Structure 1
Amino acid sequence: MKRLILFPGQGAQYNEMAKDIYEASSEGKTVLDEIFMNVDFDLKSIMFEADERLNDTQYTQPALFAHSLAVIAATGIEGDIVLGHSLGELPALVHAGVLDINDGTRIVSRRGELMAQSTGGGMAAVIGMEYSELKALCDSLSGNGLAVQPANLNTSDQTVVSGDAALMDQFAEKAKEAGARRVMPLNVSGAFHSHLMEGAKADFARFIEGIEFKSPRIPVIQNVSAKPETDPDVIKSQLIEQITKPVRFFECVQTAGEMGAENAVEVGPKKVLSGLVRKIDRSIATSNIDTMEQVKEFNDE
């Protein structure tokens, strides 16, 4: 039975995330301490206390990275295939052996910092609208230096749109007129996975240029191609491109199913991705490991 391991993205964070794992698992504590030592801010306090900075992109991304890898360490779980949603691709690459934990920590910290600096945009989740219609609407509204575009293709009827703030209200109105059931603005600091991240992408590319990416020991389904990638150069290139390109999660899960994935385990905070997988492919059994209690349940199986 092939196991797909899922690594969540932004929005899943919560105060005191991974604190119980830190206190009860020596393996989880070791990994968390290693990550905490490799960032130049107090990530431990941000994660373990009621710290509002947890919702700031530059801190959210390393926190999610840390929580997911703490679960991996505490359980010793092994995947046959890995898939991360947006920043979740980074802990997935660590689990697959493409990056060591220190380089992964450096990269996720710089990625979060750069993306936090890109402001002036917005994002909205759209429920109940065909993708082709949504894409056509985005294209029709874009022009004169402004644009909106699909950013997260989560399920067949749930897509997140990202782009210039000046167009977001107009997009919401037109989407509802076109039959969308709901259009929900998201509380984010920038327009992730859009053209407004071009500056962040360029700086990110320069930052990771000299970092070695190794061949994965297990397939990594990447967000940009929605295919399993094994070439380190392709993996690095697509990690860079992902900053401005859509997360094709719906297609990634379909690919995992075609590769024989029969169960999917989400490692890290909450169970957003598990819920999406159930909507995409009900033949894949889902579970999640977030808390120390769930770690113990998995280890006792």
Structure 2
Amino acid sequence: PPEGCRVRPLEVAGAFHTEYMAPAVGHLDKLSNAITTHDPRIPLLSNADGRVVHDGRDVLRRLVHQVSNPVRWDLCMETMADLGVTAILEIPPAGTLTGLAKRALPGVETLAVKTPDDLDAA
């Protein structure tokens, strides 16, 4: 974690985004070779480093490797602030990331879609 940050345990369903998922990366990498990709039409942020990804193959490669690497939502929020993002919509499972964004990005509207009923508000 970045120096000076506060760390707290999260209750999660599995060891996702950790080195314990490393055996899955090779398998997913092989499977991903059969997938046809397209470049994103809108800015897409990598949750590995917060960078905007423009190339479809790079998006897929990053998704595969993200399985065994930590989510860097802090870096994504920095990029969103730099890009002037005014609203964040989190899709299921939802709530954790928009909760963090409310504190880190004051003035940015957030909505966590948790159920189909929440779609009308989106």
Q: Same fold (TM over 0.5)?
A: yes
Could you list the per-position Cα deviations for residues 136-193 of structure 1 after superposition, in whole angstroms to 9, with x for gaps in the alignment?
Answer: xxxxxxxxxxxxxxxxxxxx424xxxxxxxxxxxxxxxxxxxxxxxx5474544x322
Could you list the per-position Cα deviations for residues 26-64 of structure 1 after superposition, in whole angstroms to 9, with x for gaps in the alignment?
Answer: xxxxxxxxxxxxxxxxxxxxxxxxxxxxxxxxxxxxxxx
Specify the code of the residue in structure 2 equivalent to 1:268: P
In the comparison of the two structures, how many residue pairs are matched? 122
Q: TM (normalized to structure 2)?
A: 0.82
Alignment of 1:97-246 (within 5 A): 131-132=2-3, 156-158=5-7, 184=9, 186=11, 188-189=13-14, 191-246=15-70
Could you list the per-position Cα deviations for residues 224-259 of structure 1 after superposition, in whole angstroms to 9, with x for gaps in the alignment?
Answer: 231110112221221121112221111101101111
Give yes or no for contact 1:257–1:284 (8 Å, CA) kept in 2: no
Would the alpha carbon gap of residues 284 and 297 (structure 1) be closer, same or farther in structure 2, given more than 3 Å must change? closer
Give yes or no for contact 2:73–2:97 (8 Å, CA) kept in 1: no
1:195, distance to aligned residue in structure 2 (A): 2.3
% identity of equivalent residues: 22
For 1:281 and 1:230, locate their aligned partners in 2 and report how far apart those are by CA, in whole Å: 24
Aligned to 1:35: none
Specify the code of the residue in structure 2 equivalent to 1:157: R
Give yes or no for contact 1:192–1:243 (8 Å, CA) kept in 2: yes
Residue range with higher mean Cα deviation, 261-270 or 195-204: 261-270
1:222, distance to aligned residue in structure 2 (A): 0.7
Give yes or no for contact 1:266–1:289 (8 Å, CA) kept in 2: yes
Match of residue 290, structure 1, among 100, 109, 114: 114
Would the alpha carbon gap of residues 195 and 289 (structure 1) be closer, same or farther in structure 2, given more than 3 Å must change? closer
Would the alpha carbon gap of residues 195 and 187 (structure 1) be closer, same or farther in structure 2, given more than 3 Å must change? closer
Higher strand share: 1
| Relative contact order higher in (CA < 8 Å, ≥ 6 apart) | 1
Unaligned runs of 5+ residues in structure 2 are none
Corresponding residue SS for 2:89: strand
Computing the radius of gyration from Cα coordinates, the structure with the larger value is 1
1:270, distance to aligned residue in structure 2 (A): 4.2
Give yes or no for contact 1:213–1:233 (8 Å, CA) kept in 2: yes
Corresponding residue SS for 2:110: strand
